[in-house]
């Protein structure tokens, strides 16, 4: 399952990051790395971006960025 498929209010652990290059580096620089626990807080009215909690802070990312973040239990 990817982060953009997670239900609101659910928590999951990052399993891996798909993709490469600048987008992957940017996501890692935001603190989203393998083993990090993330919680999906809410969606924007039109569904993009999404707000997550990661490492104790709230972060908004686009759905296409969330689609490369593979999460699990």
| CATH, residue 61 | 2.30.30.90
Calpha distance 2→70 (Å, rounded): 4
Q: What is the pLDDT of residue 47?
A: 80
What pTM was estimated for this model as a whole? 0.86
Q: Show pLDDT as tens, one digit a residue, over the chain (73 residues).
A: 999 899 999 999 999 999 888 989 999 999 999 999 999 999 988 888 999 999 999 999 999 999 999 999 7
Q: Which domain holds residue 47?
A: 3-72
Q: What's the number of domains the chain is made of?
A: 1
């Amino acid at each position: 399952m990817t982060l953009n498929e997670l239900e609101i209010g659910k928590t999951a652990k990052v399993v891996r990051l798909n993709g490469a290059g600048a987008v992957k580096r940017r996501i890692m620089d935001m603190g989203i790395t393998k083993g990090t626990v993330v919680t999906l807080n809410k969606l924007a009215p039109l569904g993009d971006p999404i707000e997550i909690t990661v490492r104790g802070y709230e972060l908004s990312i686009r759905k296409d960025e969330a689609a490369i973040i593979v999460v699990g239990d």
